[in-house]
Structure 1
Amino acid sequence: MQTRLLVFLLLVSPLLAFGQVFTSSDLPIVVIDTRGGVIQDDPKILADLSIIDNGAGKRNKLTDKASFTSVMGIEYRGATSQQFFPKKPYGIELRDSSGVNSVAKSVLGMPAESDWVLNATYNDKTLIRETLTYDFYRKMSKYYASRFRYCELVVNGEYRGIYIVMERLKRDKNRVPITSIKKTDITGDAVTGGYILKIDKTVGSTSRTWKSPYPSGTRNINLDIQIDRPKPEDLAEEQFQYIKKYVTDFEASLAGPDFADPTKGFRAFVDEQSFIDYLILTEVCKNVDGYRLSAYFYKERDSKGGKITMGPIWDYNLTYGNADYCEGNSYAGWAFNFSRVCPKDDFAIPFWWDRLLQDLDFARKVKEKYKALRKTVLTPERLGSFVDSTATVLTEARQRNFAKWPVIGTYVWPNGFVGRTYEAETDFLKRWIDQRLTWMDINIEPFGILTALREEPNFTLGPNPSVGDVTLKLPLPAPTDVTVSLTDMQGRPVQSHHWPAQPEGLFERTLPATDFSTGPGVYILTIKTQSGHTSKVIVRE
């Protein structure tokens, strides 16, 4: 195969990359020859792979000897990106010389495995949102995130632009670190793991799926829960029934009255820290698809921990303001509110996240970790430095990429911002991060409390957030005294009102703007009657 690849390289060199002669790069060069075959969605077709990578700081030429070669299977991957974008993402499987058996190999210095992804990063014109997110997550969390390397790609003699070589999500000691369950593992500890599951679109998926019995979103949708691994042909019926019951039992515990109990509640089923980290990441980048699409979780065997772990993280091109629907371009607002912002969307946020945030201890842990991260790896300076350094690395290659794919200054669905230059795109990304973190710093204080109190069916308060007067309404089932008190987030009193002997019926009062005497910020409003008390958060802008 080495001779065939060298001949192929000579034939394609030099390549005309839309007005530029492509002969060399300061990035690794990936060359694919499909042997005359046509790449399709499924199944994979046989091809030859060659990578030219002479090492850090050295130039890579198409005529150089390949540092890596392999027979492989290749197919298109992705849903929207494959259907609608001309720059296609690919899934590849390294194989032995027969082209039949998969073989694990190290690619571009990453741990050996057989399955890899070539991410096209087409509608993110910075080319950075995916790698920024994986890099940040690897710094903030102990849980796995895909490794990556940038490259320039040539397919059958055609220059295809900048791609990101990434690890595909798989069970492996260097990837998702859980047991690769065999089809014969149907009893005892063996049947309890490991499984990779996801909440995602089912179109084109070959996964076995069941409907959650617990409705989610404003439309009460019973979401599809898919088993990503094992594949359907490798999944025994006993395994399907086991993991379906385990996840359903978790949902039942979360939906039940004792959901916050440390032994009987959701913590008996899940790795709590993984959910905290996943939530923080999703909110920092405000992933418009967060929680509801490409939302992976996994379970190891009971003997090795055995709880549901949220992740691994995946698919971050529509983040940091790069989506013009459902408030995806705004730096304000919580991503977990997606189903309330876009109630008609078919892909709802699982009820899990609202319910978790009704446990104020869970919400407190989210806030504490967020605040700790803000002092270390989660600063506009650190994230901006990654953007700038990566943009510098891509300086030469992106000129060819955008000559091939002239998207700068052009709307590509669903861009939330269209810059006239590449620099405008990266400037927007950095500015958005700064604004997002500033917004989160203010609004993280009532985080969870807003959700915990959202279930109160009678007490209404509005407008909220507000800048002027605020009207409160509370049905009174019997005559009672009513006391309303305002405190700040530290519990310090701000204002109070007392109305004795209020009649049965609708109690309605307007709190003047002057009651909120400490200015913009977060207040807790508490109403006390003879039957008890209830509270809500007011955000003043």
Structure 2
Amino acid sequence: MSKRKLVFLLLACLTVLITVLFQIEWSNLGYRIHQHQTAQQPDVLNGIDALSCIRKDVVKTADTYDPKAVDISELATHLPLVMIDTSEEIPGVPYIDSKKHTSYTVASTGEEYLTANLRIIDQPNTYHTPEDEPDVSSYIKIRVRGNTSRWFDKQSFAIKTVDAGGDYLDIPVMGMEENHDWALHGPFLDKTLMRNYMAMNIAGSLMSYAPDVRFCEVIVNGEYRGVYVMMETVGRGKGRIDIQKPNKVRNVTGYIIGLENDADDPYTAMNNYSKYTSILRKTSYFDIVYPGETNLTPELKDYIERDVSMFEKALYSYDYDSYRYGFPANVDVDEFVDYFILMEVFLQRDTGNLSTYFYKDVNGLFKPCVWDFNNDLDNIAQDTQDDFHIRQFVTVQAPWFLMMLKEESYIDRIIRRYRELRLTTLSEDYLNTYIDDTVAYLDTAVDRNYAVWGYSFDNANLDWRNKLAPDERNPGSYEAAVQQMKDTLFDRLDWLDENIEVLRQYGHESAVKKYNH
């Protein structure tokens, strides 16, 4: 074979290889495991009475949580089963202290987290009982998690898997990539049980990253706690956000920041441009999520603050639309387009105040990351008369987005992308089927959940923190809750269909004149 033919052959092989790799890379974008579509279905329980564990006499008279309503010795479920054993009450429970401030209980050691034991039973092609051999067994550190949700009767938990010495131990959980940081979300105000599950999965099918989620049932110290959602937290790691680790020689790092209400730790709370110029709400801070406190040196914190501030100064200046300094040169515009649409569709009223995360790699672009849809689709407890009631858009006044919307090309892309998604992922047929299929997947797990939490369908059994206001907003059954969520979602999409073009007013010359050169 001549050298020329050999060169041509090698080039042809290289071309094929590059093409295949390119296709593999792009085929993985937006890939998402939707548990209700791929996991074992309720029919694995054929021949098993999955409701025999429910004690109807207890359910009938319960006006508060009563674990005796589900006899775990007879429990059989097609969902993964999570069992947690502790030596004392799990810390992090809120209370009003002597100064009338909200405080949180701590472990007997005085620490924020309690060391406990975790077991997870998650075998394919079979049902699960508490007597089965666990697939995962680990020490954990655990506390109650959430903001307003900490007051709910059904607690959610922050969990960190550790070894016997207390050091973080990365483990795979329910088919999700191994890590040590997890959120065990207990839907309570969300009577459908699925807001976080559905919205996270839809976001994950569109964006570079959204936390992975899995339904499960939970037992704590031998007491049945109901249906939960095990969630990845917003953080760096394999299968999570892909950014560089800190380089303490060059003092640069990939980073994740989140908007918080009164940042707990002054060491990680940022003093960046949008904070010291009062662009953020008075009580809001950007908090550094990654690097964590143990790896966050003063030099790295300064690097992050300067990097964010440099972007914000350009964004909130006459340079907001310039080629070199404008936001399109500093953010992944496609990611911000999809994020904006998702926030509007799901009515994420916290956008720009809470549950708002951004991340950036070294020399990379800013990207947003979704988090916490529990209060979405009109599931916010206290419906305050905020800016939303005037504008009917939830994101247009949010920090950063307010200035991005002054760029007409950004608005054009939002509108075009929204119209595209309404034919696919955000079509009524797709969403209606998604919800119905999720309901069918949960099946008897819903009955077991509401055997212990069903009292919450009666407003008289709840204090003001555990229900929507006014009382008539609260659904009276699981079926009513699902229908209420559907109605809100499809009404919202109808409204956006008619009004998405209204966004153009925010980029009109009359609205941006004072910012123009």
Is TM (by shorter chain) over 0.5? Answer: yes
What TM-score comes out, normalization by structure 1 length? 0.72
The 1-side partners of 2:385 and 2:376 are apart by: 11
Report how many aligned residue pairs link the two structures.
419
SS of aligned partner of 1:445: helix
Change (3 A) 1:85 1:369: same
Structure with the higher fraction of residues in strand conformation? 1
**Which of the numbers 29, 45, 48 marks the counterpart of 2:117?**
48
Whether contact under 8 Å (2:54, 2:448) holds in the other structure is no
> 1:332 Cα shift?
8.4
The answer on 1:90 being equivalent to 2:153 is: no
Which of 462, 475, 481 is matched with 1:425 structurally?
Answer: 481
The alignment status of 1:266 with 2:327, answered yes or no, reads: yes
**Aligned 1:110-509 pairs, distance under 5 A:** 110-141=176-207, 143-181=208-246, 185-187=248-250, 191-205=251-265, 207-211=268-272, 212-216=275-279, 221=282, 223-302=284-363, 306-311=364-369, 313-323=370-380, 324-326=382-384, 333-337=392-396, 349-350=398-399, 352-405=400-453, 406-410=455-459, 412-414=466-468, 417-450=473-506, 452=508, 455=511
**What is aligned with 1:27?**
79
Structure 1 gap ranges (5+): 1-13, 340-348, 459-541
Pair 1:100–1:81, CA change in 2 (3 A): same
How far off is 1:159 after superposition? 1.1
C-alpha distance in 1 between matches for 2:220 and 2:395: 40
Q: 1:306-359 CA distances to partner (integer Å, 9 max, x unpaired)?
A: 222122x1011111121251469989810025x6xxxxxxxxx32x21211111
Alignment partner, residue 517 of structure 1: none
Say if 1:402 and 1:408, in contact at 8 Å, map to a contact too.
Answer: no
Partner of 2:29: none
TM-score under structure 2 normalisation?
0.75
CA deviation profile, 1:108-146 (whole Å, cap 9, x unmatched): 1111111111001111000111111111112222x2111
The answer on whether the counterparts of 1:300 and 1:307 sit within 8 Å (CA) in structure 2 is: yes
Q: Any idea what SS the aligned residue of 1:192 has?
A: coil
SS at match of 2:246: coil
Alignment check: 8 A CA contact 1:15 1:157 kept = no
Asked whether the 8 Å contact 2:145–2:157 carries over to 1, the reply is: yes
Q: Find the aligned partners of 2:81 and 2:282 in 1 and give their Cα distance.
A: 45
Deviation per CA, 1:388-408, whole angstroms, max 9, x where unpaired?
Answer: 111122221122212212222
* Higher relative contact order, chain-length normalized (CA < 8 Å, sep 6+): 2
Per-residue deviation at 1:454?
Answer: 6.6
Q: Is the 8 A contact 1:152 1:163 kept in 2?
A: yes
Report SS of the residue matched to 2:158. strand
Q: Structure 1's 223 and 148: CA in aligned 2 closer, same or farther, altered over 3 A?
A: closer
Maintained 8 Å contact 2:54/2:69: no
Greater CA radius of gyration, 1 or 2? 1
Shift of 1:252: 0.8
- Pair 1:415–1:108, CA change in 2 (3 A): farther
Contact 2:262–2:283, Cα closer than 8 Å, also in 1: no
Over the aligned positions, Cα root-mean-square deviation in angstroms equals: 2.6
Cα pair 1:152 1:160 within 8 Å, conserved? yes
| Counterpart residue number, 2:139 | 71
Q: Pairwise mapping of residues 102-117 of structure 1 onto structure 2 (< 5 A)?
A: 102-117=168-183
User: Structure 1, residues 399-433: CA drift from partner, whole Å, max 9, x if none?
Assistant: 22122122224373446832222111111111211
CA-CA distance at 1:37 after TM superposition:
3.1
| Higher helix residue share | 2
Relative to structure 1, the CA distance from residue 353 to residue 291 in structure 2 (aligned partners, 3 Å threshold; closer, same or farther) is same
* Contact preservation (8 Å) 1:125, 1:407: no
Alpha-carbon offset, residue 51 of structure 1: 1.2
Closer/same/farther in 2, CA of residues 457 and 250 from structure 1, 3 Å limit: closer
Q: Tell me how far 1:165 sits from its aligned partner.
A: 0.8
Identity of aligned residues (%): 29
Question: Following TM superposition, by how much is the alpha carbon of 1:153 offset from its aligned partner in structure 2, in angstroms?
Answer: 0.6
* Bigger mean CA offset, 40-49 vs 433-442: 40-49
Deviation by residue 1:361-382 (Cα, 9 ceiling, x = unmatched): 1111111111111111111221
Looking at structure 2, the residues matched to 415 and 123 of structure 1 have their Cα atoms a distance apart, in angstroms, of 11
Moved more, 194-203 or 367-376: 194-203
Contact 2:284/2:353 (CA < 8 Å) preserved in 1? Answer: no
Kindly indicate whether the alpha-carbon contact (under 8 Å) linking 1:298 and 1:308 is maintained by their aligned counterparts in 2. yes
